[in-house]
Structure 1
Amino acid sequence: MLLLIFVQNQDETPVALFEHIEHGRHCFRSVPSYEMQTKMEDGELFVDESIEAGKLPDYMEIDYNGNRLPLSRFIFTDSRRVDIFWREIPNLNQPNQGLVSGITRVDAYSVDNEDLCDYISQREQVYEQIAHLLTKRGYEVDRDFQGSEDGEAVIYRRGGREEWNLLMHMDPIFVEEAPLDEQLLAKWIAPHLLPEN
């Protein structure tokens, strides 16, 4: 099943479920200002779908399979572009699917379900290694900014000081590029540490 979602200014509005994406696209072609653009990048096809909130009527109904879905320009915060996204929703009534396909949000980033366990494990391992390394050097280490636009971050301060400093966000680059060797990790984080006074 695919969930059609409207996204404007980072606000998500779940709209409807469809068995196939083609059904949903057919349904929404009748919406004023609906646009679907495709482009190829690095041999991969990308589809961009949107509507313009300001071009919607005060009230309309989309008729599909005997169902009437109300739609109004007033459901959006402004009159600008509204992106359309499709999120796969697993149907757990179907037996023996194994690990469900799709993505899962980890803080501010989306991770493919197939990579999720390794991603979280490596993210936590890198944090623990950085915390251990900085603690040995006399710093206090913590985490902050969970739920922010850039996601959770490693923060640090020299022992006894009041002010915390941002070391780096725990984003996909943090997970993919951090070396696990302690000496290499020390060199990797060194440019992010403020000079000591």
Structure 2
Amino acid sequence: MSDNQLVQSFLEAASQGDVAALQSYVAQGVDLNARNKQKRTAILLAAMNDHYDAVAYLIEAGADIDLQDETCFNPFLFGCVNGKLELVKMMVKANTNVELVTRFGGVGITPASEKGHVEIVHELLTTTDINVNHTNTCGWTPLIEAIILNDGGERQQTIIKMLIEHGANVHMVDKYGVTPLTLARQKGYTEIEQILLEAGAK
């Protein structure tokens, strides 16, 4: 088997979660961090297909868990965006770099807050030192994303309370100088408005 064939077979085994095959290819000296045309590594392919036994094996084997594909996904950020709590926990335990950003310039808690992934937001706030006030390329903090990019419902209210409890700055404005409180009022989210007022927002 040529080096190229070995890599292709290794990446395919990762996509399918075939741990025995992965072990065989690693024993043959395959590059653990080889990538496909989308710059996806084996551990990212395993993660994207929910093959967590394969993810665990590749972590143990020494794969670089932080390498990002052409859309900025790595296992941790993929998990944060898609609500994969088990995957996020695995990556946090493996000391993933929580400062790496998505293609929109947000850290993992940014899309998790936006999309209403309460459990993942809780995990990140309580087990990592992720920047709760990180500003993405749109000029939005996780708090602002949680307000303006979802439905204002109970999950969003819970996330906003958690963010505030863990240091989210209710006075940090968007790139136009608009406050979180004003944004909540513009959306008509009265429950969120009340949460912000109780936290001292103006």
TM-score normalised by the chain length of structure 2: 0.26
Q: Relative to total residues, which structure has the larger helix share, 1 or 2?
A: 2
Larger radius of gyration: 1
